Amino acid sequence: MALDLPEFPWDALVPYAATARRHPGGIVDLSVGSPVDPTPDVVREALAIATDAHSYPQVAGTPALRSAIAEWYERRRGVTGLGDAHVLPTIGSKELIAGMALWLGIGAGDTVVYPTIAYPTYALGAALVGATALASDDPAEWPASTKLVWLNSPGNPDGAVLGVEALRAAVARARELGAVIAGDECYAELGWTGEWANHPTPCILDPRVVGDDLRGVVSVYSLSKQSNLAGYRAGFVAGCDHVLGQLLAVRKHAGLMPPAPVQQAMVVALADEAHVVEQKARYAARRARLLPALEGAGFRIDRSEAGLYLWATRDEDAWVTVSWLAERGVLVAPGSFYGPAGDRHVRVALTTTDERIDAAVGRLGS
């Protein structure tokens, strides 16, 4: 019996991409969030040194990697007391997000909650197990059947940041329901406004959120964005040892393990902050050029406090905006890809070269 899965949304962009490619200056593709800048040399060298990987890697991660993850959470996110049982490497973050409901034994009759404007994989995870998918930002709306809650801060696509109070309220409600709550936080180092400009955004594992109890709470992270490691599939999850124990047991049976050289590269990437600062500066410069160009072309930028996207609107149907930009050789993603609440916005990515950003700025200005 075939699974009743949602359509893959990016297929709908194909004709608009064809229009954008016909522009005399070529396409400026701002529709995806795939890094274009080089993987840092320090990480590539670590990978090369570790290529003698003749034995199977550890599903739980090497001791060095588990230690590096815990130290990073303490140093960059203010989360203390994480031991080996509280951290687990993953093959990027998307596979974990898609598989979490399955691996936690969630199924028909259960509810998976995710944000009203959200990355489609949260709903996919619910569909894979036949659970009810509920888009809701209000903890008071979460029903008794809730077994898994996804938060996303900073948000994809809208760059919204949840503060400590909002995180605390969500965790309290999830615990009241007996649900696992997971914070998808992979843009935490890429904040742009207010206090986030100089500090990572709040972590769901922060003691101000969970107190001294990690029960039922996990943080999901990826090095794809801050370290240009999208091709490495380098992610991890941290938090409640009971939840991670369940995930680890399944992952051992399924053989879900990051390759040994990637694990060593992650150790080095987590310890080196210089390349993260350098990469953030690149994105900041691109954002500083693209945002006013969009505003000058009649767009309003909403939220976009952090992350790799501008959440832009001209107060019209998102597909009308996509078409208007495609005629100027610029491809963006319609906000409707991320739920009905986004149907009058478009997501504009910062993940292209400086030359292509300048091309987009020029086209918007003309």
Task: Return the pLDDT at 3.
Answer: 64
The whole domain housing 301 covers: 9-38+275-365
Instruction: List CB contacts of 277: < 8 A, sequence separation 6 or more.
Output: none
The answer to whether residues 104 and 224 belong to one domain is yes
Query: Residue 200 belongs to a domain with what CATH number?
Result: 3.40.640.10
The answer to whether residues 238 and 330 belong to one domain is no
Is 285 inside any structural domain?
A: yes
Instruction: Band the pLDDT of 123: cuts 50, 70, 90.
Output: very high
The answer to whether residues 134 and 145 belong to one domain is yes
Task: Return the pLDDT at 6.
Answer: 63
The answer to whether residues 224 and 250 belong to one domain is yes
pTM, 2 dp = 0.95
Is 184 inside any structural domain?
A: yes
The model's pLDDT over 221-276, given as tens digits with 9 standing for 90+, comes to 999 999 999 999 999 999 999 999 999 999 999 999 999 999 999 999 999 999 99
Domain end: 256, 272, 288, which one?
A: 272
Is 1 inside any structural domain?
A: no
Task: Return the pLDDT at 90.
Answer: 98
Selection from 271, 269, 280 nearest residue 41 by Cα: 269
Instruction: List CB contacts of 274: < 8 A, sequence separation 6 or more.
Output: none
Judge whether 87 and 70 are in contact, CB under 8 Å: yes
Instruction: Band the pLDDT of 10: cuts 50, 70, 90.
Output: confident
Is 3 inside any structural domain?
A: no
The answer to whether residues 207 and 345 belong to one domain is no
Task: With H, G, I as helix, E, B as strand and everything else as coil, classify residue 7.
Answer: coil
The answer to whether residues 201 and 107 belong to one domain is yes
Task: Please tell me the total count of domains within the chain.
Answer: 2
The answer to whether residues 307 and 248 belong to one domain is no
Distance CA 359, CA 365 (A): 10
73 pLDDT exceeds 60? yes
The model's pLDDT over 11-66, given as tens digits with 9 standing for 90+, comes to 899 999 999 999 999 999 999 989 999 999 999 999 999 999 999 899 999 999 99
The answer to whether residues 232 and 318 belong to one domain is no
Q: Fill in the amino acid letter for 6.
A: P
Domain end: 272, 295, 315, which one?
A: 272
Tell me what the mean pLDDT of segment 125-151 comes to.
97
The answer to whether residues 243 and 118 belong to one domain is yes
Is 137 inside any structural domain?
A: yes
158 pLDDT exceeds 70? yes
The answer to whether residues 62 and 180 belong to one domain is yes
Query: Residue 314 belongs to a domain with what CATH number?
Result: 3.90.1150.10
Task: With H, G, I as helix, E, B as strand and everything else as coil, classify residue 184.
Answer: strand
The model's pLDDT over 174-228, given as tens digits with 9 standing for 90+, comes to 999 999 999 999 999 999 999 999 999 999 999 999 999 999 999 999 999 999 9
The model's pLDDT over 288-346, given as tens digits with 9 standing for 90+, comes to 999 999 999 999 999 999 999 999 999 999 999 999 999 999 999 999 999 999 999 99
